[in-house]
Amino acid sequence: MKTVHTYDVFNVGPMTGNQLAVFTGLFGISDSNMQKLAKEMNYAESVFLGNEEDGIWPYRIFTPSEELPFAGHPTLGTAFHVMDNFLEGVSEVVLRCYAGDIPVHMQDGILWMNQQSASFGETVDPIYAARVLSLNLDAVDQRFPAQIVSTGIPFLILPLESVQALQNASHGGSALLDYCAEIGVKGIYAVTASGRDRTHQIAARSMIAEKAVPEDPATGSACGCFSAWALEHSYPESSDAKELIVGQGYEIGRPSLLFTDTRSDQIMIGGKVSLVIRGVLGPSLSMYLN
């Protein structure tokens, strides 16, 4: 049966977190039709789930404009989908994307994924990153480096001085897309070492080099890069960087909480997942996709 389920990932309640569509029964359709469906959904990402093979569940991830080798919230949402629909009572699953095998487990209602080891790239002059976010250099916390980090997808981690600076940031449109292409990153993950409220220690925004979804409400892959960067640079100075709660999506009306844990020297990113809609593809669309 060809089905679609939608989920809120990293949510803090109804209609929060990052939206995800998971399609089943469509793993064998053409790449172009997968891309069309992802564009039709117009979520940050949509997933096409394959059948289990030797205990591993393959999945493919599409934004409205391209396929990704890995992404965080699709991984947690897909793991929840597998546990909820195919592996009742099981709290661990291994997913396979183009970036590799990703173990996911659930503990106390939180899904946790093991991300790949971080690769630290170059540090960049923060003035250019600040400019494409419509910020001045004094908005940047220059005690810490603006650095490219990847755990599967590269992001530029940009530390800012305050929540106010974070809230003043805006997507630079084509200038941001050009800048991200120039330095070879998917987007800019701007962070500040204070929360908007008591639910989180770190406030973040994720400006993506993507026209259809310019700002992401919750970016697990970028948060993995950030958690590795925070551990590397002892950020923030006043707390244990090995366990942090990151608040994201507040400025665009989709508040989200992302949990980080690097105590075991592995990059663990966690969050809650909730089912929103369960549906079946109509006969005309099913025939078109065959």
Tell me the pLDDT tens digit for each residue of 183-227.
Answer: 999 999 999 998 899 999 999 999 999 888 899 999 999 999 999
DSSP-based three-state secondary structure for 119: strand
What distance lies between CA 5 and its chain's CA centroid? 18
pLDDT at residue 239 above 70?
no
Which residue range(s) make up the domain with 55? 3-109+273-289
The verdict on 127 and 224 lying in the same domain is yes
Q: Six-digit token pair at 50? A: 């394959």
In terms of domains, do 71 and 164 share one?
no
Whether 180 and 234 map to the same domain: the answer is yes
Q: Please tell me the pTM assigned to this model.
A: 0.94
CATH number at residue 33: 3.10.310.10
Whether residue 114 is contained in a domain is answered as no
- In this structure, of 31-45, 62-76, 238-252, 257-271, the range with the lowest mean pLDDT score is 238-252
Instruction: Work out the percent of the chain whose per-residue pLDDT is above 90.
Output: 88
Whether residue 75 is found in the same domain as residue 183: no
In-domain check, residue 68: yes
Number of domains in the chain: 2
Q: At a CB cut-off of 8 Å and minimum separation 6, what does 103 contact?
A: 92, 93, 94, 113, 114
pLDDT at 79 over 90: yes
**Predicted pLDDT at 61:** 98
In this structure, are strands 215-216 and 187-192 parallel, antiparallel, or unpaired? unpaired
Are 71 and 128 found together in one domain? no
- The percentage of residues in the chain with a pLDDT greater than 70, rounded to a whole number, is 99
